[in-house]
Structure 1
């Protein structure tokens, strides 16, 4: 009987053993699944698809941006950032975003180790706010190029054609200088296409400027060029005859070719002359800009020997007329400073840069003059505004040559795409869950990785007022930091005047 009972119990025993074994295995499987789920939850990205990040304070220190000398850029975690290199700078920030408040005026308060040339085309705001501090506080001689007599300040006259007179006086040869001046007076727009009229106008202005430097230096001025292109037919014929027989073969041949166009294709020549008349209209004899350029009272070579501050001041409502004058002065100053030997660096603060006609010396300074102590800081509303004056290739070169590119309020899609690329990629962990149906439901969790830019479009657009993105040449990471108004920094807030008083007439 017992044997029979035991035989009957054995299947139940085996069944119980199997159930217990299965239960144990299920428990172990659940524990392993829970452990794997935990590991997947805490697992860090592998970095195989990118390990990008934003710059830290250690990165900024290694790049030399935490030194207290140089040009002020902003602040990161309470530490002020300065650029002490000799490279060029480019700022993109929309109108009204505070470029002057956060960058121009802080540097006019702080910089004392170099000369500054300040393009001040908004009624002399920067000059009004900083001239007393720079002149009296820092001991930097201030020179005012102020043809419209703003702020009750004197005007220093500059003849942009003086470089041609100096070359002839010193026994040198005029190579491309006359052409470059003519191209600044009558810049070629990248959207003009062939632009044969503009090219003819440039040749006409260039020939006359070179001739005047040799044989009529008194009229080697912008007003003198205006008189030439506005001459009557009889006077124009006499001038062409004199140029064609001047004895300098290059001038004579070019003048003879232009005279032949005047005689044989009068409509074509008239197109050239009309274009030149329009380009030189701002320098009509007896008008403000003619008087401002009719003599030469300052040597820009001085800036290589002592830190000076030069303000180019115009009313904002006359920028359309004065823009050509500003570009000619900048072009002349770059070349004059590049020729001079000396140990003092000069930084050009080129505010409202897209409003100015292109000057050939700008690209020469980018490519060739960095070692000559010339540093350019461009201020523009954005890439699109730059392309209105400069070709896309030239804008790209300016961006590529900039050691510092800082940006605020980016909305241009092409710019956002570039910032995404510059920010680098990071590896992002992605997780998913699979659920299967049927008689028995099953579920599974999976983990994967994907590539994502450090700064995406929504991140870039979110960096607005009071913040900026800085791309530093040689630093792999982008910098996202604060912009710092001058009035939040002591002693700058006591050194810089309130420009609101200028517009309220309280000064």
Structure 2
């Protein structure tokens, strides 16, 4: 009997977004892909889990936001390990006992501050690090609160990066130690810094911030946001310990195939704050690194997170090796709520494919109807008063209607199928 000849089968790399006539639809580009579905519509079993462990994506490193009690890590980490991935967890909550790595989100700032020739851009890096933690409200009436807190955090970050001390660490925990106090104590230390000859470049900003503490209404608004965003970094907290030092470098993921799970608790808003800030820092670190690998960012429950560099993920970071696979429950509304109308507009133009499972909300339905195109239908009208013979007064008129209507969308997004919106091609019903 002849020996069996092994047959090597070439698998096309890319994200699997469904089946049409039994043939898989694979997207191998670098533009964002999303699934938009309510809870219980099989996002994990039909889409996320498949692409997370598929041989089609094994050429990519993976950065996974996992804010739902490590659901994705639980179902995939062992398979990824068997595929040869170096599997890492950032797990401040010690979920399921997974070993947790630590990473200071101010690492890039600290490295820049150590190089005298880069002294002029330390302030920019300090503001970037502050933005990981502090969102800016899209509402113009409230933007000043986030902007003011970011400026305060950036000043602290810059000074502690350039002039390290045992009392004030350049980390989120250090921010809490400094700003988690009374306004008078904060003002006193800011004025001490302003009088330090080494810090004359920042003396004006220190005095400005000290004067803001005297405006009680304004400082109360700042203080409320500071407490909300930093309460997870108080002394003794798990999130503080996870950001005090580095046990790994996300830049290595561009040279060694790795899967990083950033874990959080589904019931904790503080945990989601941590996951969003850490994700922004890790992605920026990866995008700035040198190496041949790209990373697939699997954004589970992305609409519930604030990731400060989401705009760059959609644009600049694609050139830095970032592919984005996002999971939303109402993408357009969630993005507009977190980042504003401009980012929502960029999202609509950037996303290559969107899968809809379950009937979308009313606004999204209208958009789908509008973008699906128009068709003409003939409508028979009845004029009962002028009828001398049955039908003699009837007339035909032409009306314009969307190609896809609510009934079509409901049918396409239920059962075993999904509605696939291909930005450049139109709409298709695919099996999942």
What TM-score bracket applies, with the shorter chain setting the length?
0.7 to 0.9
- Confirm or deny: 8 A CA contact 1:114 1:347 kept in the other structure: yes
Residues matched between the structures, number = 412
Q: Per-residue deviation at 1:448?
A: 6.5
Q: Where does residue 222 of structure 1 map in the other structure? A: 172
Give CA-to-partner distance per residue, 1:74-127, whole Å, 9 cap, x none.
111211111110101222101111111111100122020111111111221211
Please state how far the C-alpha of 1:403 moved relative to its aligned partner. Answer: 1.2
- Where do 1:245-284 residues align within 5 Å? 245=196, 247-262=198-213, 264-265=214-215, 268-284=218-234
Matches of 2:137 and 2:368, distance apart in 1: 28
Trace 1:234-383 onto structure 2 (pairs within 5 A).
236-244=186-194, 245=196, 247-262=198-213, 264-265=214-215, 268-318=218-268, 320-357=269-306, 359-382=307-330, 383=332
State the secondary structure of the residue aligned to 2:421.
Answer: strand
Normalising by structure 2, we get a TM-score of 0.87
Partner in structure 2 of residue 149 of structure 1? 94
In structure 2, the CA distance between the partners of 1:223 and 1:431, relative to structure 1 (3 Å rule), is same
Please tell me whether the aligned partners of residues 97 and 465 of structure 1 are also in contact (alpha carbons under 8 angstroms): no
Q: Is the 8 A contact 2:91 2:100 kept in 1?
A: yes
- After superposition, the Cα gap between the structure-2 partners of 1:465 and 1:385, relative to the gap in structure 1 and judged at 3 Å, is farther
Report the Cα distance in structure 2 between the residues aligned to 1:278 and 1:447, rounded to whole angstroms: 63
Q: Residue 66 of structure 2 aligns with which residue?
A: 120
8 A Cα contact 1:423 1:454, kept in partner: yes
**Is residue 403 of structure 2 the alignment partner of residue 454 of structure 1?**
yes
Segments of 5+ residues of structure 1 without an aligned counterpart are: 1-66, 484-507
Of 98, 111, 126 in structure 1, the residue corresponding to residue 42 of structure 2 is 98
Residues 267 and 388 (structure 1 numbering): CA distance in 2 closer, same or farther, change over 3 Å? closer
Query: In 2, are the aligned partners of 1:90 and 1:399 still within 8 Å (CA)?
Result: no
**1:159 and 1:295 in contact (8 A); partners too:** yes
Give, in whole Å, the separation in 2 of the partners of 1:140 and 1:213. 34
Q: Which runs of 5+ in 2 are unaligned?
A: 1-10
Tell me if the contact between 2:374 and 2:400 (Cα under 8 Å) persists in the aligned partners. Answer: yes
How far apart, in 2, do the equivalents of 1:328 and 1:233 lie? 26
Identify if the C-alpha distance between structure 1 residues 169 and 446 changes in structure 2 by more than 3 Å, giving closer, same or farther. same
Structure-1 residue corresponding to 2:5: none
Q: How does 1:31-50 map to 2 (within 5 A)?
A: none
Would the aligned equivalents of 2:352 and 2:423 in 1 still touch at CA under 8 Å? yes
Question: Residue 393 of structure 1: which of 342, 360, 371 is its match?
Answer: 342
Q: CA deviation at 1:295?
A: 0.8
* Distance 1:186-1:447 versus aligned 2 partners, 3 A rule: same
Residue 20 of structure 2: aligned partner? 76
Q: Matched residues in 2 for 1:395 and 1:410: separation? A: 20
Matched residue, 2:3: none
Partners of 2:415 and 2:390 lie apart in 1 by 53
Question: Structure 1 residues 235, 458: closer, same or farther in 2, change over 3 A?
Answer: same
Give the TM-score of the pair, scaled to structure 1: 0.75
The structural deviation recorded for 1:235 is: 5.1
CA contact (8 A) 1:184 1:328 kept: yes
Contact 2:61 2:253 in 1 (8 A): yes
